[in-house]
Amino acid sequence: MKAIKNYGWLLKVTGAALILGLAIFLEISPDGEDIVSIFIGFAIVMFSIVRLVPFVRTQKSDLIKTINIIEITIDFALGLALILIPLVLAEGFGDSHLFGYFLGSYLLLRGVVHFYSVGSHYEKSDLPLFIFHILAIVVGTILFYETAFDLAILIHIILVLSIASGGYLGYDGYNGYNAYRRQKTLTMPASDDVADVPVKEKVVPIMDEVEPEQDQIVS
Asked if the structure places residue 41 within a domain, the reply is yes
Asked if the structure places residue 15 within a domain, the reply is no
Residue pair 71/110 in contact (Cβ under 8 Å)? The answer is: yes
Asked if the structure places residue 57 within a domain, the reply is yes
- Provide the domain count of the chain: 1
Residue pair 37/102 in contact (Cβ under 8 Å)? The answer is: no
pTM > 0.75: no
Give residue-wise pLDDT tens across range 126-154: 898 999 999 999 989 988 887 666 777 77
Distance set, CA 202 to CA 102, 199, 205 (Å):
83, 9, 10
Asked if the structure places residue 13 within a domain, the reply is no
Asked if the structure places residue 203 within a domain, the reply is no
Run of H or E residues at 167: helix 151-187
Asked if the structure places residue 24 within a domain, the reply is no
Q: How many residues does the chain have?
A: 219
Cα Rg, the chain, nearest whole Å = 34
Asked if the structure places residue 161 within a domain, the reply is yes
Give the model's confidence band at 63: pLDDT under 50 very low, under 70 low, under 90 confident, else very high.
Answer: very high
For all residues of the chain together, what is the average pLDDT?
Answer: 81
Asked if the structure places residue 201 within a domain, the reply is no
Give residue-wise pLDDT tens across range 157-170: 888 888 898 899 89
Residues spanned by the domain of 109: 31-175
